[in-house]
């Protein structure tokens, strides 16, 4: 019996090891990027995502997800835009050619190796990262302006909570001396991805990353809380919310010297509890951003009407076949709609914010 148990255990593990790339995300080494002054995935790696969507992302310089090259000067005028946001802008759920940065370049011009618009080659650097918020964006903006010669910033805002943090005076970049990645990188290099994933899910809750509790503990099972953004309006004092948002907008304006576009693309419409919710519960918070845009010289782009029109035609900008239909992260359609809205605004007014004379080219 023991022999049969050991044989079954071994064969089962081998089957899981062989098929795990189809179902399990990958764990790749990380490095400290001197330009962005933060920990990023190591350039040259391939990051596999399977939990929601089904794609493999190439990691480029400075931890850029999906872009493996830097814009080069070929004698033409190049405008370099930095794309900021959280996991919604990072786009590991979709293929590299469907990511937002690529679709922005495509929408701003004919992409046959260039995204040319009115004689200008427009390039987008995807610098968004999962879990990033206003504090991370404003900390990195002056760094990439100086080191990568960025000419403008595109900030994808999908959850208003990303602008709700208190502005701290300790937003200084981390020091490479304070970052020790040796242990985690050794684990990523030598341990199988499925083993890391199994151990992580055993010890922590995959949704909250908090330490997991035993399922058979005594007592009733707690009802899962609704998403933060849906209950945010009832839980937050409006006066305090406006103060936090204005403070963060002012801090972003102070951190960057180049033009900034804020693109609003929330999970709206949203399928929840089997019902389609069309209204944006964070709409009053976005109104605060719009009211303060002019004073901070921001251009604002609202994608909600475009999303609603798409859903009315039966195509959802959020969700995947292996996730929550009409919910979750942006899909390829969502990115395309955002890119088209941005290009429309760019043609109407946005490009006038950029310098007329030869802007810098990232090297």
Question: What confidence category does residue 316 fall into, taking pLDDT thresholds of 50, 70 and 90?
Answer: very high
* Number of C-beta neighbours around residue 119 at 10 A: 8
pLDDT score for 178: 55
Q: Express as a percent the part of the chain with pLDDT over 70.
A: 80
pLDDT attached to residue 116: 53
pLDDT at 201: 82
- In the chain, what are the domain boundaries? 26-208+237-352
pLDDT of residue 214: 66
And the tokens for 23? 């179902």
For 322, residues 6+ apart whose C-beta sits below 8 A from its C-beta are 50, 51, 52, 53, 54
pLDDT at 349: 64
Contact 165, 135 (CB under 8 A): yes
Give just the sign of the alpha carbon dihedral 177, 179, 183, 186. negative
Averaged pLDDT for residues 301-326: 93
CA distance 334 to 236: 28
Q: What is the pLDDT of residues 163-204, one digit of tens each?
A: 987 666 445 565 555 567 787 888 888 888 888 888 888 888
Tens-place pLDDT, residues 317-332:
999 988 888 889 999 9
Residue-averaged pLDDT of the chain: 84
Q: Are 322 and 54 in contact (CB under 8 A)?
A: yes
Residues 128-156, mean pLDDT to the nearest whole number: 94
| Residue 56, beta-bridge partner list | 48
Q: Which of 226-230, 325-329, 332-336 has the highest mean pLDDT?
A: 332-336
Q: What is the pLDDT of residues 15-74, one digit of tens each?
A: 999 998 888 999 999 999 999 999 999 999 999 999 889 999 999 999 999 999 988 766
According to DSSP, residue 331 is labeled -
Bridge partners (DSSP) listed for residue 47: 57
Mean pLDDT of 146-171: 84
Report residue 193: phi and psi, to 5°: -60, -40
**pTM here?**
0.83
Q: How far apart are CA 344 and CA 39, in angstroms?
A: 35
* The architecture CATH gives domain 26-208+237-352: 3-Layer(aba) Sandwich (3.40)
Mean pLDDT score, 247-254 = 94
Task: State both tokens at 355.
Answer: 């310098």
């Amino acid at each position: 019996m023991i022999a049969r148990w050991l044989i079954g255990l071994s064969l089962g593990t081998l089957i899981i090891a062989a098929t795990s790339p189809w179902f399990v995300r990958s764990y790749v080494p990380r490095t400290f990027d001197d330009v962005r002054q933060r920990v990023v995935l190591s350039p040259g790696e391939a990051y596999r995502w399977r939990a929601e969507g089904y794609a493999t992302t190439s990691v480029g310089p400075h931890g850029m997800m999906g872009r493996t090259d830097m814009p080069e000067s070929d004698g033409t005028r190049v405008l370099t835009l930095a794309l900021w946001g959280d996991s919604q802008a990072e786009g590991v759920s979709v293929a590299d050619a469907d990511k937002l940065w690529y679709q922005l370049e495509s929408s701003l011009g004919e992409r046959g190796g260039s995204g040319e618009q009115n004689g200008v080659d427009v390039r987008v650097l995807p610098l968004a990262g999962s879990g990033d918020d206003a504090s991370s964006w404003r900390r990195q903006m002056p760094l990439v302006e100086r080191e990568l010669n960025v000419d403008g910033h595109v900030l994808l805002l999908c959850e208003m909570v990303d602008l709700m943090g208190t502005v701290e005076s300790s937003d200084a970049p981390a020091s490479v001396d304070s970052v020790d990645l040796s242990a985690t990188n050794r684990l990523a290099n030598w341990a199988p991805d499925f083993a890391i994933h199994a151990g992580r899910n055993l010890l922590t809750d995959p949704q909250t990353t908090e330490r997991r509790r035993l399922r058979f503990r005594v007592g009733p099972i707690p009802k899962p809380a609704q998403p933060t953004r849906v209950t945010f309006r009832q839980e937050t004092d409006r006066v305090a919310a406006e103060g936090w948002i204005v403070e963060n907008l002012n801090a972003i304006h102070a951190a960057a010297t180049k033009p900034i576009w804020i693109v609003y693309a929330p999970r709206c419409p949203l399928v929840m509890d089997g019902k389609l919710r069309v209204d944006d519960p964070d709409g009053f918070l976005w109104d605060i951003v719009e009211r303060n845009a002019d004073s901070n010289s921001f251009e604002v782009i609202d994608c909600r009407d475009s999303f609603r029109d798409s859903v009315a035609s039966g195509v959802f900008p959020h969700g995947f076949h292996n996730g929550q239909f009409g919910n979750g992260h942006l899909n390829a359609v969502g990115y395309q709609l955002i890119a088209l809205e941005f290009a429309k605004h760019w043609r109407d007014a946005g490009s006038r914010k950029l310098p007329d004379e030869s802007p810098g080219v990232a090297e």
